[in-house]
Amino acid sequence: MNHGIGDLTAQAPRTFGKALLYGRRALALLCPTCGKTQLFHPWKNVKSLSSWFTPNDGCPYCGYAFEREPGYFLLAIWGVNYGVVALGGMALYFVLRYWTEWSPQLIFCLTVLPAPLLSILLARHAKSFFLAMDHFCDPHVRHKRKRENIE
């Protein structure tokens, strides 16, 4: 495993540039540490809904574990994914109510009916942004262990 580039990026001070770097990697669904490995299987290789939502085990280049414990991504799904879909739908509803003469029932259908599909489509990015945010705020760096001679 390469412990060079990823560890240096993680140990660097938190700056706006570093946040943008992690944001770009999250948008591309890449490892937040090194940016070399995809967090998820490509959509062409997805065989079930479960494999759509499940990230890979970790990055083979830098050793960063994508899911550290059961329930790690609960906040990503509830807070980020559902929050973006619900707040986006509500904002769109009020914008359409203000700027159009459409009926409230039509606007409601246009903003609520696509929400479950949008939630499924955005779940990967919600997990990716959560992982990048977590790594930015609390970098999980693997340190090389020193071998101790036991005599």
This prediction's pTM? 0.77
Does some domain include residue 142?
no
Mention every residue, 6+ apart, whose C-beta is less than 8 A from residue 35. 21, 25, 28
Q: What is the pLDDT of residues 54-98, one digit of tens each?
A: 899 889 988 888 887 888 888 888 888 888 999 999 999 999 999
Give the gyration radius of the chain's Cα atoms. Answer: 20
Using the predicted structure, report yes or no on whether residue 46 has a pLDDT greater than 80: yes
d(CA 9, CA 135): 11
Does some domain include residue 81?
yes
Does some domain include residue 145?
no
Does some domain include residue 98?
yes
The 10 Å Cβ neighbour count of residue 76 is 21
Is residue 9 very low, low, confident or very high in pLDDT (cuts 50, 70, 90)? low
Q: Do the Cβ atoms of 12 and 6 come closer than 8 Å?
A: no
- Name the residue range of residue 18's domain: 5-137
Number of domains composing the chain: 1
